[in-house]
Chains A and B, each alone.
Chain A
Amino acid sequence: EPEVTQTPSHQVTQMGQEVILRCVPISNHLYFYWYRQILGQKVEFLVSFYNNEISEKSEIFDDQFSVERPDGSNFTLKIRSTKLEDSAMYFCASSKTYGAGNEQFFGPGTRLTVL
């Protein structure tokens, strides 16, 4: 069964450093998403991406964040200058279809720790 994969599983970085979180969505999916979960809090939407463009983003997704699909398989989330409050579990997801009721498939997550 196809799965969304994410690397690394755990990333530790110093405050102010740039990090890139990587995801490989399911191969025939066209819509991609990033979510994050701060420890003990809700899973929160960050951004959705389709056809090489951001289609929706939350207020969390500020100028420090960017997403890219650099090739036909990877989908990346970059945080330019990490802050302590960026420490969280980051989940990538993908879906085949678009719109209400679409089923999103999630990866196992990357735990980001900012020191």
Chain B
Amino acid sequence: AQSVAQPEDQVNVAEGNPLTVKCTYSVSGNPYLFWYVQYPNRGLQFLLKYITGDNLVKGSYGFEAEFNKSQTSFHLKKPSALVSDSALYFCALTGFQKLVFGTGTRLLVSP
């Protein structure tokens, strides 16, 4: 069965510091991995995806994610956090149609 784990409920980081939001996955076959972000009273917004190719994927708002097959991880990263990055972040994978989500990680960036 496909599954995604986000081991941290919350990540706190100071503005200007690098951030990492962790995600690990379990899937048989090739993984198709996504990161979505949710701001208050907004829908889930697509950030980036990994299908194949380079292990470092660049996405919206300066975010990037590193795919690591041996560690079955797809961690979200940003070199310099902004207060406006504070939101709920979801990792997800898809087999064909449906998205399978992790439980989400709340990112709090302090000024």
Are A106 and B98 touching (Cβ within 8 A)? no
Are B32 and A43 touching (Cβ within 8 A)? no
Are A103 and B49 touching (Cβ within 8 A)? yes
Provide the B73-111 mask, 1 if CB < 8 A to any CB of A, else 0: 000000000000000001010111111111110000000
Question: When chains A and B are docked, how far (Å) is the Cα of A109 from the Cα of B95?
Answer: 24
Closest to A9 in B: B41
Q: Contacts A101-B32, A101-B49, A101-B51: A91 and B44 contacting too (C-beta < 8 A)? A: yes
Are B32 and A4 touching (Cβ within 8 A)? no
Q: A43-B44, A106-B44 are in contact. List 11 more A-B contacts (CB 8 A).
A: A42-B102, A42-B104, A45-B99, A91-B43, A93-B44, A100-B51, A100-B94, A104-B46, A105-B46, A107-B43, A108-B42
- Residues of chain B having any CB pair with chain A under 8 Å: 30, 32, 34, 36, 41-46, 49, 51, 90, 92, 94-104
Asked whether any CB of chain B lies closer than 8 Å to the CB of A33, the reply is yes
Chain B residues with CB below 8 A from A55, complex form: 97
- Residues of chain A having any CB pair with chain B under 8 Å: 3-4, 6, 9, 31, 33, 35, 41-45, 48, 55-56, 58, 91, 93, 98-109
Are A108 and B43 touching (Cβ within 8 A)? yes
B22 to chain A, nearest CB (A): 16
Chain A residues with CB below 8 A from B92, complex form: 43
Closest to B102 in A: A42
B54 to chain A, nearest CB (A): 15
**In this complex, which of B32, B34, B41, B43 has the most chain A Cβ atoms within 10 angstroms of its Cβ?**
B43
A56 CB contact (under 8 Å) in B30, B36, B98, B103: B98
Closest to B93 in A: A100
Are A100 and B95 touching (Cβ within 8 A)? yes
B103 to chain A, nearest CB (A): 5
**In this complex, which of B30, B49, B92, B97 has the most chain A Cβ atoms within 10 angstroms of its Cβ?**
B97
